[in-house]
Amino acid sequence: MIDKIGTEIMIGGIRFKSNVLMAPLAGYTCFPFRLMVERLGAGSAYTEMVSSDALKYNDRATSKLLYTDDRERIKCVQLLGSVPTVFERAAKSELLAKFDIIDINMGCPVPNVIKAGEGSALLDDIPRASKIIEACKRSGKVVSVKCRIGMNRQRIVIEEFARMCEASGADMITVHGRTRDMMYEGRPLYEYIKLAKQSVSIPVFANGGIYSKEDAEEMMEKTGADGIMLARYGFENPLIFSELTGTPSCDTKYSLLMEQLETAGECYDELYVLTYIKKLASYFMKKLPGTKQIKQRLYKCGNISELKNILGEIFDNKR
């Protein structure tokens, strides 16, 4: 089973070079980051969630989220919403024409999202969730669903939900093995990811709580999933993709940051680049001791050349 990590997989007729994916992370999985993890071995990486409703305004914020170009091998966009017709219009729109895969967010636990009947609220409205999948499928694109196992331990619905996803035409499901009320804490409940895998014949990916190679192996072994999706740890240590997939890399965290500075500089304005690189650098520093003062300088820094100097000091040009 462990040998399966890092192998190729077909999803809806698209060949992924590995079954290790990078999850959508709002505020983090921008184009330069997705490009980098693909290079390091990820089968693909998802945009952060984009409101299906906001697409009709085509404002600057949304177009930043949707930025991609042909360097990204497989282009996956994640949509959030609750109205099937709005999803259908978004999925067929020119703005999403370049994306190969539409992922539907059925897992976001945030109160405002739930109130709007979006994200994990759809776990409690299976007929609506089904209509949303069918609506996206009418675009002719490959469609995946990212969901949790239920709202809470008393209402675990993953078996019925996974079957509904397959019957409605989904090409793949990613199961985050936590309930909505667990938010982002606690060990994932492997047995329910396993139940989803046993209930359908489309690929099932497992997500939640993977912070090391050992966690990845445990996830695959205990769930029998077809692949894994990394989230927070993928952002903290993108080199894990190279480790898990056997993709050769001589990168250090410092070289990755310099690469990201360059790619982000090609696509975004300076303010965006500064904000993004600061976030990435602070994730990279999570396990470095004694960084309090330099972190403060990092957060305050206001231009790219100063940023480069600080990053050089923190990462010693080689870590």
Ligand X SMILES: Cc1cc2nc3c(=O)[nH]c(=O)nc-3n(C[C@H](O)[C@H](O)[C@H](O)COP(=O)(O)O)c2cc1C
Catalytic residues: 108
Residue 105 contacts ligand X per CB under 6 A: yes
Neighbours of 196 (CB within 10 A): 27
**Part in contact with ligand X (CB under 6 A); list of ranges 102-110, 269-277, 283-291, 309-317:** 102-110
- In this complex, which beta carbon is closest to ligand X, that of residue 26 or of residue 126? 26
Of residues 47 and 139, the one with the C-beta less far from ligand X: 47
Q: How many CA atoms lie within 13 A of 137 on its CB side?
A: 17
Supply 50's token pair: 């984009």
Q: Which of 34, 39, 75, 176 binds ligand X (CB under 6 A)?
A: 176
Q: What's the farthest any 2 CA atoms get from each other in the chain?
A: 55
Candidates 21, 45, 49, 86; binder of ligand X (CB under 6 A) is 49
Report the alpha-carbon distance of residue 57 to residue 267 in Å, rounded.
Answer: 21
The SS3 call for residue 103 is strand
Q: Which amino acid, residue 176?
A: H
Alpha carbon distance 272, 70 (integer Å):
22
> Judged by CB under 6 A, does residue 34 bind ligand X?
no
For ligand X, which stretch binds (CB under 6 A), given 23-31, 92-100, 121-129, 283-291? 23-31
Q: Per CB under 6 A, does 48 bind ligand X?
A: yes
Token pair 């994990």 in the structure block, residue: 120
CB of 306 to ligand X, least distance (A): 26
Is the Cα torsion angle 272, 273, 275, 276 positive or negative in sign?
positive
CB of 22 to ligand X, least distance (A): 9
Alpha-carbon torsion angle 183, 186, 192, 193, nearest 10: 80
Buried b (16+ CB within 10 A) or exposed e, 101-113: bbbbbbbbbeeeb
Which residue, 35 or 104, has its beta carbon nearer to ligand X? 104
Residue 78 or 242: which CB sits closer to ligand X? 78
Per-residue x/- track, 202-241, ligand X (CB under 6 A): -----xxxx-------------------xxxx--------
Residue (49 or 96) nearer to ligand X, CB? 49
Q: Is residue 184 a contact residue for ligand X (CB under 6 A)? A: yes
Q: Does residue 117 come out as left (phi exceeding 0), alpha (psi in the -120 to 50 range) or beta? A: left
d(CA 147, CA 108): 8
105 vs 260 by CB, closer to ligand X: 105
Strand 9-11 versus strand 14-16 pairing type: antiparallel
Binding of ligand X at residue 109 (CB under 6 A)?
no
| 23 touching ligand X, by CB under 6 A | yes
- Which uninterrupted H or E stretch holds 204? strand 204-207
Q: Is 116 in the site for ligand X (CB under 6 A)?
A: no
What is the token pair recorded at 20? 């290790």
Which residue is nearest to ligand X, using beta carbons? Answer: 231
Question: Can residue 6 be called a binding residue for ligand X (CB under 6 A)?
Answer: no
Our finding on whether 75 is near ligand X (CB under 6 A) is no
How big is the site for ligand X, counted in residues (CB under 6 A)?
21
Residue 146 as a binder of ligand X (CB under 6 A): the answer is: yes
Residues that bind ligand X (CB under 6 A): 23-26, 48-49, 78, 105, 107-108, 146, 176, 184, 207-210, 230-233
